Structure 1
Amino acid sequence: MNTTAEKKAKLKEKYGRSQEETLRCSEYAKRWWPKETSHRMRIADEVRNQLFLFDLPWDMEQTAEPVTFEGEIDWSYQPGPDPEFIFQMNRHQYWICLGQAYAMTGDEAYAECFASQLVHWIKKNPLTEETKGTTWRTIEAGIRGINWLRAMGYFVDSPAVTDEVFEQFLSCMKEHGVYLAACERPFSTKSNWGVLENNGLFAIAHLLQETGDCPEAGAWIKLAKNRLIRQNWVQILDDGVQWEMSPMYHNEVLKCFLEALQTAAFYDDEFPQEFQDKVKSMVFADRIWQKPDKSQPSGGDSDVTDLRDLLTAGAFWFEDPVLKSGGYDRMDYEGIWNYGICAQVRYEALASCEPESLDCWLSDSGNWYLRSSWQEDADYLHMRCGSLGGGHGHFDKGHLDLVIGGEDVLVDPGRYTYVDGTERRMLKSTKAHNTVTVDSEEYTHCVDSWGVKGLWPAVGGAMSRKGKYGFAECGHLGYIDRGVYVERRVLAVGTRIYVVMDTCYGNGDHTLTQHFHPALNQKVTVRENGFTLEGEKSRAEFFCISGHEGSIVLEEEAFPVSLHYNQIENGTMVSCKKQGNGVFGMMTVIVCSALNENETGAWAEAVPVMSAMAGKPLSSHEADGVRIQAQGHTWLVVNAHVEAGASCEYIGAEGRFGLGRVMAAEDDEEDMTVLKW
């Protein structure tokens, strides 16, 4: 059995740093990351005063209102109907902020606070059947395991961490290990929970094996490692996306896998190459869906969070220039504390290059991306049409995100809360996304905050590029119980003109409604045939085209937008409705420009689609056409709803024809370019 001093030395070897290293990391953080340094110092000072506000970038459930404990801390305190405060409170990420404040100041008050709160938590939170639902949920136990080890690395040499305090810490770590090792259930295999649980167990077991405090530690290492390998295999799709379809939880899982790789490196352990390749594919998924402002899309249960720290970590770990192009130019604040000052030298020496293609299709998860460049002022269109993704998924099949010149134009309104009720159900709904509904009905319905009824799959999917034209297509069976199949096609002319084409395949009378959610800074002006969105840097003209039969009804209404958990603002939704019978479609043309470009005269109107062979127009049940005037040019776009054949096999508009179902022609081009056969 090692002495307490020897145990401390073993922990410091893995999670601590020398005096010189601490000084260099502190100087680096203060010089290059003053805002982040100030943020962590503020949190540390608040924690010393028993004030808790959870606003770190990757806090899964951020809070907007601080909670202060005047006397003794109540670790199971719930300030309102949402228990997420309890869970966030008991993950103890803020103790790492205390440690960094201690490293940068040497002020023993931070160490005394840590030791006092640690001992108090252990005393007040025994593992019971009751606390398993509050302070001892398995997910918190796993997160806490890695956070306690990292925090203790900062404080292990402090006089405040007496031998008695350290032994209590190790004893509680062993209790965590016993608890997490016994957690074997299918839910953990398929959920982010399992990864967060076993990342903690893997780190705890390795330390306890080194300190000699636990004979079972070796078995726990193998157990946790095997579970992580299996969870990596089960949860990560071939395109690198975590199956729950929420970037927030994709990245929580990614962070854990990166931490597990680092833990393994600490102890000369190793994960299989296949595991590492899957982790790398997850970072690449982040790079592909990273928006021009560097954030993740707010799909599913996600906040708007900057991705550069994770891409920096991924680029450093895998020594990949493409990943570095989405990260920071230098090692970020958390990276310098996690990987050490030498990491900056290695990272700075790494080359940076952008991905080869501007068009990307993550086909397994159902995500399409069209962009003008990989720069911050880029245009960016994202279409989402994949599986639900379990409880964190939203009803977003066919959803579009649109960015022009680096500015958000159309957005996903977010999540706000996990408390079942009006806001939760509204923000998960189909109506809450830039997609379509049929007969004003939802295609999936909430049973509670997590459960749903109506598990209808996405089907099909295509993407193509021909010169200036980009094309993406998706569909789903959400309304098949109403006898309707819904298909969405998007034709892009460059990245400033988009034709959104929705088709209802069915029998009888139905109403097709397109929903659009402008970003908060967009000024909305509704007009007779569409609406205009004007932001600080961009303008987007929306032309709602009914075809040569039928008409469009436009409606504007208030709709909430939540960029971060527990924060909600008043936004707007614009809806375009069309009634039809059997097979019919509707188009919305979006013409975008920068405000300083003074784009005027943009216009779009329906034109009849002709059969060259029959010499007569097709019905709107067969095809729709539109003429677009913008940027000094004219385009014709044809969207056929039926298979090419007979009178619909060589079709077009205004004398331009082709053998395709989706086609376009510019100005006086003789033939149409086929985007879909």
Structure 2
Amino acid sequence: MLKKLSLLFPLLPKLGYWNVAYMLWYRTSFKLGWRKAKFPLGNPVRGNFYKSTFLASNYPEEWKSQLRARAEAALQSHLDYFHHHSFEVGNPPNWFQNPFEDSVLNNPDKHWTELSDFDLNTGDIKILWEPSRFDWLTDLARAYKVFGDEKYLMTLNVWLQDWSEKNPKNCGPNWKCGQETAIRVMKLVTASQILDQDFEASQPLQQLILEHLERISGNINYAIAQDNNHGTSEAAGLYIGATYLLNQKKINVSSKKLNYFKKRGRKILINRILKLIATKGTFAQQSVTYQRVVVDTLSWVVYAMQRYNEPKFSNQVNGRLLRLGEWQMIMTANAAGNPPNLGSNDGAMLENLHQCDYRDFRPSTQLFFGVLLNKRVFNNQDNDGFDEALYWRYPKAYLNFPQYKSDQPNFGVLDNQFLYIKEEQLSLYMRIPQDKFRPSSSDAFHVDLWVNGKNILCDSGTYSYNSGSETDRFKSVTAHNTIQFDHHEQMPKISRFLYGSWLKTSIKKPLEKKSGIYSFSASYKDHNQNKHTRSFALNTNLSQLTVTDSFDKLKEIEAKVFWHMPINGELNLKATDQNSENLRPKMSSTEASLYYLEKHPIQNLQFSTQTNQITTKINF
């Protein structure tokens, strides 16, 4: 305990004194029962939530078969979890089942304050949350709008009625997280927009959304204290959810309360945008997945602001949003829309009005620039499905949006946190640690390389937030393409989501290109006072990457460099030490995760030395 406190105290200014004080108060209020008293249990909301509507007139034929298949799968009791795993879950689903382990939650009727995030008998709570994110709702709404089959409308109403019966206000795990509550608001509003009834919402739908807004507003300070996407999601849900209700022809709830929610949500959202999105677009959590969560959240917000005639954001805020989207453009590593698997990856994809794979970021980016600028990033001559999210917002105009031309160079360093080099058939990325916001793993100076659309030097990913030693393994320095001193991690762990002794990079040589060769050098010092300097030279003409790792070690300890690559990867790696002696490689099998709770085999090549340098030459 004393050791953890000694690691925690230096972090207080970075975490924020108000944030830490609030978290202490929050946990105290839980133990004393005050939090439970603040959120009284409610009753189920009954009745039909959505009604019949007219058909979409110009939905492309090429998309129909996949949309119908997705909707029919739901009717046959099959749902996707984390946009990758398919399970038979019932019709309606069992909202408290873990289909990965075939277990069902004990006592789902408890108040949400009485349930743990990590010690449930069903394991990872994120699994229970998946069907309650309501992806099926927008799938069925789209299918009904396109095909006009009443069974889709009937099913979405029956499932919502069942969900409300089993999950009355503040009862059970699906009310535990304010962000999950906000995501449901996004889906409820979006389904209403798809069905063209968002100005004449039914009384049950208004009531259900109001209950969600009350849950968000009552606990949003907790989200703010996290300095992550919980704050952006909850503020967005509060702002737009209240705006949506205020735009009803017949409002069945208190307009005074709604105006308070709306004003508060917008104010917090603007604050979060300016604090958590850096000037070149990097979001605080330093993760491509969580970057997309924020991009999708703000696409939803900006579109709703247009639809409901809300005042525009300031130029400062819109400038930050533009850089947020350009960051995601830069991180798109191949023509299929795949990014490097950097940072935490929890399976989140909030924008699901399309049939594309979870790893395809084109629908998200295309929609974001469509709502922000009425422009498109990607041409779609083959009418691939990544335009569909844009279609549902602008069905008549989306094909006429002009091409967006970014002024970003093809190489650079984003907010001193992500280095990138992008050429026609090559992309290189490097993680540069900074100490402003919480790091999520020991991935300092990880290098990711893509050639001809393939990720030939890859990151291991996340796998799960609640799998014990497996979670630790994927977060470990050994799971990334970087250096380990002896058997130590780059940072000591304080708790599940908090490291101590955050790393801060010193740039030794800025990224530059001379005579066709890119070069860069930077260093950091870890909590054991070991200094690591990583320099690289990328010669695209010779298809060669040379990485030099130099060490200043206080003790005679071993240093190891790890390189992760696909099975049967076409790479030639050779390494030498400080004395130009060849190092013998140690090849081992390991695993990577591209989707939450998914693993697949990759190979890990390791070089070790007692000297103060390893130089790796990689020919590709």
TM-score normalised according to structure 2 size: 0.79
- Measure the CA separation in 1 of the matches of 2:206 and 2:322: 33
1:112-511 matched pairs, under 5 angstroms: 112-128=154-170, 131=172, 133-155=173-195, 166-185=202-221, 187-188=223-224, 190-211=227-248, 212=251, 213-215=253-255, 216-269=257-310, 270-293=312-335, 294-302=337-345, 305-319=359-373, 324-325=377-378, 332-347=386-401, 350-351=402-403, 353=405, 357-364=409-416, 366-373=417-424, 378-387=425-434, 393-446=440-493, 449-460=496-507, 462-478=510-526, 480-481=527-528, 483-494=529-540, 496-511=543-558
- Measure the CA separation in 2 of the matches of 1:287 and 1:157: 33
- Measure the CA separation in 1 of the matches of 2:458 and 2:372: 32
1:68 aligned to which of 89, 99, 104: 89
Please name the residue that 1:85 is paired with.
Answer: 127
Q: CA deviation at 1:305?
A: 1.6
Instruction: Give, as a single letter, the amino acid of the residue that structure 2 aligns with 1:42.
Output: A
Deviations 1:362-393 (A, max 9, x none): 133x21112332xxxx1121111123786772
- Measure the CA separation in 1 of the matches of 2:484 and 2:381: 40
Contact 2:54-2:145 within 8 A present in 1 as well? no
Contact 2:288-2:339 within 8 A present in 1 as well? yes
Contact 2:380-2:387 within 8 A present in 1 as well? no
Question: What secondary structure does 2:521 align onto?
Answer: strand
Contact 1:195-1:253 within 8 A present in 2 as well? yes
TM-score normalised according to structure 1 size: 0.73
Question: What secondary structure does 1:517 align onto?
Answer: strand
Deviations 1:466-523 (A, max 9, x none): 1212112222222x41x32001001112361111000001334122211000024xx2
Judged with a 3 Å threshold, the aligned counterparts in structure 2 of structure 1 residues 328 and 357 are, in CA distance, closer, same or farther, namely farther
Deviates more, 1:179-188 or 1:418-427: 179-188
Structure 1: where are the runs of 5+ without partners? 1-10, 55-60, 524-532, 535-539, 593-677
- Measure the CA separation in 2 of the matches of 1:282 and 1:328: 26
Deviates more, 1:398-407 or 1:94-103: 398-407
- Measure the CA separation in 1 of the matches of 2:133 and 2:381: 27
- Measure the CA separation in 2 of the matches of 1:568 and 1:381: 24
Q: Which has the larger radius of gyration?
A: 1
Percent identical residues:
16
Judged with a 3 Å threshold, the aligned counterparts in structure 2 of structure 1 residues 356 and 328 are, in CA distance, closer, same or farther, namely farther
Contact 1:415-1:427 within 8 A present in 2 as well? yes
Question: What secondary structure does 2:608 align onto?
Answer: strand
Question: What secondary structure does 1:185 align onto?
Answer: helix
Deviations 1:234-277 (A, max 9, x none): 11011101010111011101111121111111121122222111
Question: What secondary structure does 1:577 align onto?
Answer: strand
Please name the residue that 1:5 is paired with.
Answer: none
- Measure the CA separation in 2 of the matches of 1:485 and 1:195: 36
Judged with a 3 Å threshold, the aligned counterparts in structure 2 of structure 1 residues 396 and 345 are, in CA distance, closer, same or farther, namely same
Contact 2:430-2:447 within 8 A present in 1 as well? yes
Judged with a 3 Å threshold, the aligned counterparts in structure 2 of structure 1 residues 587 and 280 are, in CA distance, closer, same or farther, namely same
Considering only aligned residues, what root-mean-square deviation do their CA atoms show, in Å?
2.8
Q: Which has the higher strand share?
A: 1
- Measure the CA separation in 2 of the matches of 1:390 and 1:84: 23
1:582-661 matched pairs, under 5 angstroms: 584-592=612-620
Please name the residue that 1:4 is paired with.
Answer: none
Q: CA deviation at 1:575?
A: 0.1
Instruction: Give, as a single letter, the amino acid of the residue that structure 2 aligns with 1:77.
Output: Q
